[in-house]
Amino acid sequence: MYQPSRLVSSFNIAGFQYHDGATVFPDLKVGTPVGLVPEPDNPHDPSAMALYYGDVHLGYVPRKENELFSLLAFYGHAGIFECRILKADPAADPWDQVMVGIYVVDARG
């Protein structure tokens, strides 16, 4: 069966509790698209990939997950991925409240 994209990684948003995600939490429904933005000048991690909902910074792809996505974005392949909300649980601990998935997009058709 044809699938327009395939899940390649899922994780809780790193640093969600330190950024502005709480201001848009009610909008973060399962399936909501999230922007992946490389931050090569990040002083803590040159492979950092920030996650945004519109212009609201939600947090980051965890360091143990970000290197491949950062490398591909650096070489101009950021468009092969899409990121979506998989879970948004207001009752969970802040570091476990929002899980996202990164999908590789099927360019064949």
Q: Comparing 6-10, 56-60, 104-108, which segment has the lowest mean pLDDT?
A: 104-108
Sheet holding 49-53, edge to edge: 5-12, 98-105, 81-88, 33-38, 49-53, 56-60
How many domains is the chain built from? 1
- What number of helices (H) and strands (E) belong to the chain? 1, 6
> Average pLDDT in the 99-104 region?
96
Taking a C-beta distance cutoff of 8 angstroms, is the pair 90, 25 a contact?
A: yes
Ranges of beta strands (E only) in 26-80 are 33-38, 49-53, 56-60
Any idea what the CATH number is for the domain that residue 83 is in?
Answer: 3.30.70.2330
| pTM across the whole model | 0.92
Is residue 2 over pLDDT 90?
Answer: no
The more confident residue out of 64 and 108 is: 64
Structural domain harbouring 80: 5-105
Q: Encoding tokens for residue 8? A: 């390649």
Instruction: Supply the pLDDT for residue 1.
Output: 55
